[in-house]
Structure 1
Amino acid sequence: MNRFRTRITATLALTTTTALLLTACGAADSASSSGGTRKVAVLAASSQNGYNQAVYKGVQQAAAASGKKITLKLLDGQFDSNTQLSQLQNVTSTGDYDGVVVVPNDGVGLAAAFPLSKKIPVATVLNPIGPDINKMEPQVDGVVTTVGVPPAAAAQKQAEGVVTYCARINPCKVVLLVGNLSTPLDVARRNAYKKVLGAHSNIEVVSTVEGQYDRDTSLKAISNVLQAHKDINVILSNADQEAAGAQIALQNAGIKPSSVYLTGAGGTKDAVAAVRSGAWKAAYINFPLSMGKAAMEQLIKAMDGGTPKAVVDSDGIGGVEPYATKETLARTPDFTGEWNG
């Protein structure tokens, strides 16, 4: 619920310069713009990021399953808001593309590209595009669908799990491990955490640190926190990569991770396994592969002149309860997660 930024080596043969032609069996779409083939630009927040890679794979699968000729071109936003804004402005001004799927690095800032110079449909994944980070309905003319959930609502649910855990602990010492304390998405999450936790006098937020969606950065940040607060009860993170770093920091400090309420978000395969084992108490699961599929399916509807869903609730497309604990995961023993972080 997430942006999930682990900078890993790309394993899905993603490039910013090579287009992949996906032609499924079936008749060519006579309504498409270039000889029966449609061109779709996929704007990743970062093409080197596992979450974005999973979204792109879902886009590929939906394109291949559509029975249409669709050319995909992946663009790497490099986790830079200005770079991605420029990319969106370029692909929507050339007349070369029929649609766009975007995983916004900054959905608020990306609104500056609208209204588009060429009127083509845009599907956004994880984050809405527009001034209100918690409003999933399209806020600017040109966005036809948003696949996601309000970040404040998701963060609130995470924090409520902490409240339940802390009910009999006084004081219950909490560390907030947030990706980036200046981006609109993470500001919304942090504020939601503090609003829920602040309503309970037994809960004390002893530190708020950045993890930058990175295991090693989070390891260092939590190691520093533990020097001053070795008696913490909870580490609440908005990213599984960060929680993984926190787990190592706890182990290095001689603290058994299962003795702390450790929770992340994103639904990586490692996180699902950690919750199943009891090393983590919970994780908020995202389904980036399914989200990419849904975005492409709705974009195809729009390109065909149909009516796409304005909002696709990403919590409901993965087939499992997104707020996962060991108990909820026991009901779906075959689920392993949709991506590697």
Structure 2
Amino acid sequence: MKMRTLTGALLGATLMTSAASAQEACSVGVAMYTLGAPYFAAQEVAARAAAEELGCTVRTADGQNDMIKQIGDIEDMVAAGVNVLIVNPRDSLGLVPAVDAATAAGVHVVAMDSMLDPSANFITNVSASNEANGKLVGEWLAKQSGGKPLKIALLSGSQGNVVGQARRTGVLSGLMEATITQYGSADIEIVGQGWGNWATEGGLTAMEDLLTAHDDINVVLGENDSMVIGAREALKAANRLDGVLLVAAADGQKEAYQMIKNGEYGATGLNDPAALAKLAVEIGVKALNGEEQELTKFTFTDPAVVTQKNVDTYYNPESLF
């Protein structure tokens, strides 16, 4: 009996040691498709911090906006022994084989922010709900318009990008539905679409072109804050800022928040890069540790439209983004 008790104690100690070893062995890889914008840089920093807080070692890589390089980054991480992979994919379909290969090698893969095609074998895709955020932004814009005609300059990220499509569709559907519901009719026109490649400079250039062709713009709608901030500079330089309402479908860049506080910018959708990264890492590490999770292919953070009324809830001047 004593021998059995001792054996049981030793077995329990061995299991505890094994569990501790498994925890210590946690190795997280973070494969970003780019670090060339503040949003993605902040996301990478937050992912690293979240993994380290959970006791994991961390490897990160910058795909430099190149799908082939990102595929190589993922293959290198798997070869190096990561057992949790967080990937912000450069291409929804192009990353599928690399992700499937990582999963087949026993790696727990979580996609983050940009959408990965659901045909891939991964745990879940963590992101803000572009549709839900957009709808809230559209409803807010409808209320601000008071039913007056809207001449909208649309600033989009890149052609064919599914995130951009979801963002603008969400805003415009929310705007149209709320305007009709509140005022009985809708006089809404997209006077032009410019492509700003998600960047401040791109937004500035696209806005300059739109201003040349249209002198009746009273709303600028961008698919992220960076492009709208650039558009504001173009409007200011052209002495056309007065009477133009600035709205973004998503992001929550601190410069935008500051302008919202000052009444110089209308609203933006909430898309916190640090919150997405932290949640993605937590899900991956829980999967590694065998913890039960009720997840679908898509995991969304809570949507919100950030305006002058609630911006203090979200604004952090010390934020990286």
TM-score band, normalised by shorter chain:
0.7 to 0.9
Deviations 1:99-118 (A, max 9, x none): 10112222343223343241
Which of 33, 56, 61 is residue 45 of structure 1 equivalent to? 33
Summarize the alignment of residues 28-39 of structure 1 with structure 2, pairs less than 5 Å apart. 29-31=20-22, 36-39=24-27
- Tell me, yes or no, if structure 1 residue 129 matches structure 2 residue 107: no
Which of 80, 105, 122 is residue 118 of structure 1 equivalent to? 105
The 3-state SS of whatever aligns with 2:20 is coil
- Tell me, yes or no, if structure 1 residue 336 matches structure 2 residue 313: no
Query: Structure 1 residues 126 and 119 mapped into 2: Cα distance closer, same or farther (>3 Å)?
Result: same
Q: Which runs of at least 4 in structure 1 moved beyond 6 Å after TM superposition?
A: none
Q: How far apart, CA to CA, are the structure 2 residues paired with 1:114 and 1:295?
A: 15
Q: How far apart, CA to CA, are the structure 1 residues paired with 2:50 and 2:136?
A: 30
- Tell me, yes or no, if structure 1 residue 261 matches structure 2 residue 245: yes
**Contact (CA 8 Å) 2:259, 2:265: kept in 1 or not?**
yes
Give the match for residue 155 of structure 2: 177
Query: Structure 1 residues 112 and 57 mapped into 2: Cα distance closer, same or farther (>3 Å)?
Result: same
State the one-letter code of the partner of 2:306: A
Which of 55, 73, 78 is residue 87 of structure 1 equivalent to? 73
Query: Structure 1 residues 285 and 197 mapped into 2: Cα distance closer, same or farther (>3 Å)?
Result: closer
Q: Please say which of residues 161-170 and 192-201 is displaced more in the overlay.
A: 192-201
Deviations 1:127-146 (A, max 9, x none): 34215xxxxxxx533x2233
State the one-letter code of the partner of 1:176: L
**Contact (CA 8 Å) 1:267, 1:339: kept in 2 or not?**
no
Q: CA deviation at 1:76?
A: 1.0
Q: CA deviation at 1:208?
A: 0.8
The 3-state SS of whatever aligns with 2:57 is strand
Larger of the two Rg values belongs to structure: 2
Query: Structure 1 residues 114 and 42 mapped into 2: Cα distance closer, same or farther (>3 Å)?
Result: closer
Which of 230, 240, 264 is residue 225 of structure 2 equivalent to? 240
- Tell me, yes or no, if structure 1 residue 102 matches structure 2 residue 95: no
- Tell me, yes or no, if structure 1 residue 71 matches structure 2 residue 48: no
Q: How far apart, CA to CA, are the structure 1 residues paired with 2:172 and 2:315?
A: 31
Query: Structure 1 residues 86 and 167 mapped into 2: Cα distance closer, same or farther (>3 Å)?
Result: farther
**Contact (CA 8 Å) 1:287, 1:337: kept in 2 or not?**
no
**Contact (CA 8 Å) 2:158, 2:196: kept in 1 or not?**
yes
State the one-letter code of the partner of 1:235: V
Query: TM-score, normalization: structure 2?
Result: 0.81
Q: How far apart, CA to CA, are the structure 2 residues paired with 1:159 and 1:217?
A: 23
Which of 207, 210, 214 is residue 225 of structure 1 equivalent to? 210
Give the match for residue 267 of structure 2: 282
Unaligned runs of 5+ in 2: 1-17, 178-184
The 3-state SS of whatever aligns with 1:109 is coil
**Contact (CA 8 Å) 1:144, 1:308: kept in 2 or not?**
no
- Tell me, yes or no, if structure 1 residue 326 matches structure 2 residue 308: yes
Q: How far apart, CA to CA, are the structure 1 residues paired with 2:88 and 2:173?
A: 27
State the one-letter code of the partner of 1:58: A
- Tell me, yes or no, if structure 1 residue 164 matches structure 2 residue 153: no
State the one-letter code of the partner of 1:323: V
Give the match for residue 153 of structure 1: 132
**Contact (CA 8 Å) 2:59, 2:77: kept in 1 or not?**
no
Q: How far apart, CA to CA, are the structure 2 residues paired with 1:146 and 1:41?
A: 16
Query: Structure 1 residues 256 and 313 mapped into 2: Cα distance closer, same or farther (>3 Å)?
Result: same
**Contact (CA 8 Å) 1:178, 1:209: kept in 2 or not?**
yes
Deviations 1:301-332 (A, max 9, x none): 1111212452543236xxxxx311101225x3
Deviations 1:15-35 (A, max 9, x none): xxxxxxxxxxxx993125xxx
Query: Structure 1 residues 315 and 155 mapped into 2: Cα distance closer, same or farther (>3 Å)?
Result: same
Q: CA deviation at 1:242?
A: 0.5
Between the aligned residues of both structures, percent identity stands at 26
Give the match for residue 313 of structure 1: 300
Deviations 1:147-196 (A, max 9, x none): 213323333332333333334312x1001111112222223333444545
The 3-state SS of whatever aligns with 1:275 is helix
**Contact (CA 8 Å) 1:180, 1:212: kept in 2 or not?**
yes
Q: CA deviation at 1:89?
A: 4.2
Q: How far apart, CA to CA, are the structure 1 residues paired with 2:94 and 2:155?
A: 24
Q: CA deviation at 1:337?
A: 6.3
Q: CA deviation at 1:339?
A: 4.2
Deviations 1:34-80 (A, max 9, x none): xx4332210112123211221222222222322x2x22111111122
The 3-state SS of whatever aligns with 2:86 is strand
Q: How far apart, CA to CA, are the structure 2 residues paired with 1:187 and 1:298?
A: 27
Q: How far apart, CA to CA, are the structure 2 residues paired with 1:74 and 1:214?
A: 23
Query: Structure 1 residues 152 and 282 mapped into 2: Cα distance closer, same or farther (>3 Å)?
Result: same
Q: CA deviation at 1:221?
A: 1.0
Q: RMSD value over aligned CA atoms? A: 2.6
